[in-house]
């Protein structure tokens, strides 16, 4: 190659470059709209570029090559990291995993229209699901199960961790006490794992796997999840006796169960094509929201929230399983924290030099009332009852343990010795005020329901009544004010 050619090639290579000036530094970047993370060459001194600019046709080949070689030695390459690709929407992933056959029912359109007329309800449901949906989709996919199952809590509870039904079903997956127990969900005075999203999700997927294994049909498996497997078994057996088909559409079911799959199909249709239904689908990012953090010691809920720099209300949404103001730990208890709060919690806990618990237990003395205990510990009697889950007018025996605030002159809580007392290990399955009504001549279910301001369906569910007949002299159990314990309310 001739020297003149070398100069011309160098000039041609230099010409597309433009300069981006910063104090003391000039960079050469292509004039194209290259993304900002590409590697760019930077010359250390502006005089080097000036020297290159002075190369003209009058410059000798030797001088041009010398100047180019000298400039090349000064070039420093800055490597910019590629930007993180933002997470995509979880809905793309959910749609890809849909495998259920379409539910063919006019009820599907009815529920679509209901959601369309109640967009605020739909938006609240999606907002709550954003905290847990990524985790549940992950767990569903690990088992190779259809992603429609990740939508099931929308039908069961609208993704509300504190949801509680007249049948005493609790949590986002709405486990009744007996089924929760069968699938290993701990239920005691301190803690109810039916409201623990991680534990309950594992139990729900175990249950659904079992149901699908028995019925070999997802529609029947979901009907059994709602109605109970025994109900579906009886319906199948009845149809077999009559020589009828035993698929989902052929079985006689309660109205709630008959509506169950159309509701799910309506939500699935909205997720698949929100515009087709006339709704806006808020985006949910396909990334974890929370992480598990171990709590090795007893700890106040309020202190745990403060260490994570969260409000008690926000902490409670992720940790709805706790019934009391204290996380009573056997050394293996876990709490859920947002990913961006876990490090904050750990750091604040490391430097926290005050007690982690401000509560203790107190054993009732003979003939001592709740009101007397409340006065002793400067509490409102109703607040003391609320914190301890004591129903009005219930008399407690001597020795019964109550959770009370630690007095200022007490240095250390006695929870290590008392948190596992028998009264704290009993299941606390039924929330609300329990009333026993003795049926009088002429009473009807509708009149009794109206008197106590509850539903007829609720009375039937609580007492195992199938029809509408009741007998004078029998007793009915009625629950009012059905709600789970809310620590944020207790601490107000």
Give me the sheet containing 17-22, strands edge to edge: 17-22, 25-30, 40-43, 75-78
> Residues with Cβ < 8 Å from 190, sequence gap 6 or more?
322, 323, 324, 326, 328, 419, 424
- 117: which 2 tokens? 């007329």
How far is it, in rounded angstroms, from Cα 179 to Cα 432? Answer: 20
Known catalytic residue at 69:
no
Per the CB < 8 A criterion, the answer to whether 418 and 361 are in contact is yes
Among 183, 190, 177, smallest CA distance to 422 is for: 190
Per the CB < 8 A criterion, the answer to whether 211 and 227 are in contact is no
How far is it, in rounded angstroms, from Cα 107 to Cα 263? Answer: 8
Strands 299-300 and 290-295: unpaired
Among 80, 21, 77, smallest CA distance to 49 is for: 21
Paired with 434 in beta bridges are 479
Per the CB < 8 A criterion, the answer to whether 371 and 384 are in contact is no
Determine which one of 62, 69, 148, 156 is catalytic.
Answer: 156
**Which positions are annotated as active-site residues?**
156
């Amino acid at each position: 190659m001739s020297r003149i050619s070398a100069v011309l090639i160098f000039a041609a290579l230099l010409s597309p470059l433009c300069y981006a000036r910063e104090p003391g530094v000039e960079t050469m970047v292509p004039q194209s709209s290259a993304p900002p993370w590409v590697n760019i060459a930077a010359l250390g001194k502006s005089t080097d570029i000036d020297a290159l600019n002075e190369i003209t046709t009058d410059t000798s080949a030797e001088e041009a090559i010398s100047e180019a070689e000298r400039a090349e030695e000064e070039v420093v390459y800055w490597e910019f990291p590629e930007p993180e690709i933002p997470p995509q929407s979880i809905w793309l992933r959910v749609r890809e995993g849909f495998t259920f056959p379409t539910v063919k029912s006019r009820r599907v359109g009815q529920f679509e229209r209901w959601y369309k007329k109640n967009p605020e309800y739909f938006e609240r449901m999606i907002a709550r699901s954003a905290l847990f949906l990524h985790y549940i989709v992950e767990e569903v996919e690990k088992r190779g199960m259809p992603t429609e199952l990740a939508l099931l809590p929308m039908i069961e509870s609208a993704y509300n961790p504190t949801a509680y039904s007249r049948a005493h079903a609790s949590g986002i997956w709405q486990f009744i006490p007996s089924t929760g127990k069968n699938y290993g969900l701990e239920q005691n005075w301190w803690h109810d794992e039916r409201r623990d999203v991680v534990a309950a999700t594992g139990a729900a997927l175990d249950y659904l796997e079992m149901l699908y294994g028995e019925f070999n049909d997802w529609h029947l498996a979901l009907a059994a999840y709602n109605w109970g497997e025994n109900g579906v078994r009886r319906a199948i057996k009845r149809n077999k006796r009559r020589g009828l088909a035993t698929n989902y559409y052929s079985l006689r079911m309660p109205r709630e169960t008959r509506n169950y799959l159309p509701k799910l199909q309506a939500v699935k249709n909205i997720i698949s094509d929100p515009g087709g239904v006339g709704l806006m689908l808020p985006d949910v990012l396909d990334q974890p929201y929370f992480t598990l953090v171990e709590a090795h010691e007893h700890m106040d809920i309020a202190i745990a929230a403060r260490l994570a720099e969260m409000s008690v209300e926000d902490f409670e949404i992720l940790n709805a399983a706790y019934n009391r103001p204290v996380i009573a730990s056997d050394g293996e208890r876990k709490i859920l924290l947002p990913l961006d709060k876990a490090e904050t919690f750990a750091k604040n806990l490391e430097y926290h030099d005050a007690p982690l618990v401000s509560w203790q237990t107190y054993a009732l003395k003979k003939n001592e009332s709740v009101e007397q205990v409340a006065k002793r510990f400067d509490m409102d009697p109703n607040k003391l009852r609320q914190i301890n889950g004591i129903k009005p007018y219930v008399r407690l025996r001597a020795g019964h343990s109550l959770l009370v605030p630690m007095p200022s002159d007490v240095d250390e809580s006695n929870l290590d010795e008392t948190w596992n007392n028998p009264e704290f290990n009993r299941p606390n399955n039924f929330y609300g005020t329990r009333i026993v009504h003795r049926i009088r001549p002429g009473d009807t279910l509708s009149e009794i329901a109206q008197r106590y301001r509850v539903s007829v369906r609720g009375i039937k569910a609580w007492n195992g009544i199938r029809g509408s007949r009741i007998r004078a002299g029998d007793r009915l159990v009625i629950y009012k004010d059905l709600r789970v314990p809310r620590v944020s309310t207790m601490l107000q």
